[in-house]
Amino acid sequence: MSYCLNPNCPNPENLTCSDKCQACGSSLLLRDRYRVLKALGQGGFGATFIARDEVLPGQPSCVIKQLRPTATAPHVLEMARELFEREAVTLGKIGNHPQVPRLLDYFESGEQFYLVQEYISGATLQQEVKAKGQCSETSVKEFLTDILPLLQYIHSQKVIHRDIKPANLIRRAQDSRLVLIDFGAVKNQVSQTLALRSGQTALTAYAIGTPGFAPPEQMAMRPVYSSDIYALGVTCIYLLTAKSPKDLDYNPTTGEMMWEHLVQVSPHLSGVIRKMLEVSVRSRFQSADEVLKALEMEPYLQDLEKGMVSRPVDVTKKGSGKRFEDSGILNNHASVGFSSGGVAQVAAAIRARRAKLVEATASGNQRSTVSKLATWNQESTNATSGSKSQSVRQFNTEGLLSAYTKGRRDFASYNLALLNLQGIDLSEANFHASVLERANLQGSNLYNSDFGRASLNRANLKDANLNKAYLSHADLEGADLRGADLSYAYLNHANLRGANLCGANLTGAKVSDEQLVLAKTNWMTVRPNGKRGLL
C-alpha cells in the first residue's frame, strides 16, 4: 500500500504501484525516493509513518515524521516547529550512538516539514508488559544496566530527553538492545553553570512530558538532568507492577507514589528506585552514573553502612581503630567519627580490599576464595561492632532447598560453595555476590536468577537453564557450562576465562567477543547472533 501524506486527503490509502493519490492527486513518492507504506501514530505536533527508501539498494525501511500540529493557532505552530527542529538537531548530534535512531534526512516539501530517521524493528516495553505481564527484579536490573549508560551519554551531550517512558523504549529485534526513541520533547543547550548557580536550569518555553512519568520540576517548566532519572524510576515501577502511574495510589501527605506493597523486590533495589523517585531534586540521584554505582553496591556493604551510621566507631578509644589500620581501610584518621561521607569511603576501601583478595587468588595464593571471604567478613564485622568473631552466612543443601520451597528467594552474599544442587529448581532467585565455587548445579533451573558479582569459579553448570540470568561481573573462571542455556543472559564484565561453553546456547546473550575468546567453544556453541560455530 502507498499512503498519501496530504493532511487534508479524504482517503490516503492507495495501491502500492500508484504514483499519484487517487483521492487528492498528491505525489506518493516523497522527495522522489520515500514511499510511505502506512501510518504509525499521531501526536500533538506530528504524525509518524513507516516508509521505504526506493533509492538505496535493498529499499530499506525508515520512519518519516511529518510536522502536523492538531491546532492551528500561531503560537502552537511556532512551538511545534521549534520542537520539530530541536529533534532533528538532537538526533544529528547524538544519533551515532547504537541505542539512538540515526537521523537520515530533514527537509521541507510542499510547505510541510519532514524528518527521516532509522527504523527500529521490535516491540516497545509497553507492548512487552501488556503481552507478558510484570517483570522480575532481575529483568529490571538488566533494564537499568542497559539504559543508564545511554542516559549518561545523552546527558554528557547536554540533552534532557524529557519523555522517557515504556512506549518510547524499543527492544530491537536483531540484538535485544534497548533503543530510546522520540526526541521531540528534548531540551538541549542546558546551561550547567546556571544550574549550579541558581539550583535550576533556565525556564523552558513549554511544560512537556507525560503526566505521571515527568517529575514536578519538569511540569513546572524547570527540567534538570535528574528529571530523566525520575522518569526512568517510574518506568521501573511500570515494569515491576504492570501498572501505569495513573493506576497507582499516591500518599496524600507527601505526594509520593505508593508501589512497594505491590511487588516483591530486594530492599537494595527498592532503595535505589525510591531515591530515583525523590520529589525533591536535591534528594534524588543527580546522574545516571550515581544510579549505576548504587546498583553495583553489594547488599552486605549496605548492611555495613547502616551499622556504622547507627553505631559510630570511636577510633580514639584504645584498639578501636587498629583493625581498620591493619586492613588498610583507615589511614591517618584518628580522632574522627564516621559521617555518611566517611561511610562511603570505608565501603569503597572494603571493595578495594575484596578486589585484592580476588587478585591474590588468581596469582596462585593457596587460600581459597571462600576462606578469604570468611576472613574479610569477619574483619569487617569485628571492626564495626567490636565482636571477636562472626561467621559467614551459610546454607547447607537441605536448608537452601527448604527455604526456597517456603518462598524465600533472597540468598545474596551467602557461602554456598560445594553444595550439591543438581537438577533443582532455583529460578528467579537472588544469589548476588554469593560464593558458589565448585557447587554442583548441573541441570538446575536457574531461569532469570541474579548471579551478579557471584563467585561461580569451577562450578558445574552443565545443561543448566540460565535463560535470562543476570551474571554481570560474575566469576565463571573454569566453570563447566557445556550444553547450558544462556540465551538472553546478561554476561557483561563476567570472567569467562577457561569456562567450557561447548554446546552452550548464547542466543541473544549480552557478552563480548573479547570475553568469549577466553572461554572454550566448539562448533556446537550457539553464538549471540544465533549462529553455531567457533568465533
Q: Any catalytic annotation for residue 163?
A: yes
Q: How many whole angstroms separate alpha carbon 217 and alpha carbon 200? A: 9
Nearest-Å Rg of the Cα atoms of the chain is 27
Q: DSSP labels for 331-378?
A: SS-TT----HHHHHHHHHHHHHHHHHHHHHHHTT-SS-HHHHHHHHHH
| CA-to-CA dists, residue 118 to 50, 66, 105, angstroms | 10, 15, 10
Neighbours of 17 (CB within 10 A): 7
3-state secondary structure 424-444: CECCCCECCCCECCCCECCCC
The neighbour count for residue 383, using CB atoms within 10 Å, is 24
Instruction: With beta carbons less than 8 A apart as the criterion, state whether 499 and 476 touch.
Output: yes
Name the catalytic one among 19, 32, 146, 163: 163
Q: Are strands 2-3 and 169-172 parallel, antiparallel or unpaired?
A: unpaired
Closest C-alpha to 231, from 120, 133, 148: 148
**Furthest C-alpha separation in the chain:** 93
Burial letters for 155-170: b for 16+ Cβ neighbours within 10 Å, e otherwise? beeebbbbbbbbbbbb
Residues in the chain: 535
Nearest to 449 by CA among 430, 421, 424: 430
Q: At what angle do helices 340-362 and 299-310 cross, to 10 degrees?
A: 140
Taking CA atoms, 456 is separated from 319, 435, 515, in Å, by 37, 7, 16
Strands 2-3 and 34-42: unpaired
Cα 128 to Cα 205, 362, 406, distances in angstroms: 34, 42, 30
- Cα separation, 247 vs 257, in Å, equals 10
Query: Cα angle at 70 between 68 and 74, to 5 degrees?
Result: 85
Instruction: Give dist(CA 390, CA 377) in Å, integer.
Output: 8
**Secondary structure (3-state) at 532:** strand
Instruction: Give the residue numbers annotated as catalytic, written as ranges.
Output: 163
